[in-house]
Amino acid sequence: MALDELYQEIILDHYKHPRNRGEVDNADVVISSDNPFCGDRLRLTLKIDDGVITCARFEGQGCAISQASASLMSERIEGIAVPQALDLTEQVLRMIRGEGVADVLENDELSALKGVSAFPTRIKCASLAWNALKKALNPTNQKSRL
Ligand code: ZN
Q: What CATH code is carried by the domain that includes residue 100?
A: 3.90.1010.10
Quote the percentage of the chain above a pLDDT of 70.
96
Domain that holds residue 67: 3-141
CA 62 to ligand 1 center in whole angstroms: 6
CA 139 to ligand 1 center in whole angstroms: 28
pLDDT for residue 146: 46
Domain count, the chain: 1
Full DSSP string of 30-71? EEEEEETTTTEEEEEEEEEETTEEEEEEEEEES-HHHHHHHH
- Per the prediction, the chain carries an average pLDDT of 94
Residue 126 lies in a domain: yes
pLDDT digits (tens, 9 = 90+) for 27-50: 999 999 999 999 999 999 999 999
* pTM, full prediction: 0.94
Contact of 96 with 102, CB cutoff 8 Å: no
pLDDT digits (tens, 9 = 90+) for 62-118: 999 999 999 999 999 999 999 999 999 999 999 999 999 999 999 899 999 999 999
CA 67 to ligand 1 center in whole angstroms: 8
Residue 44 lies in a domain: yes
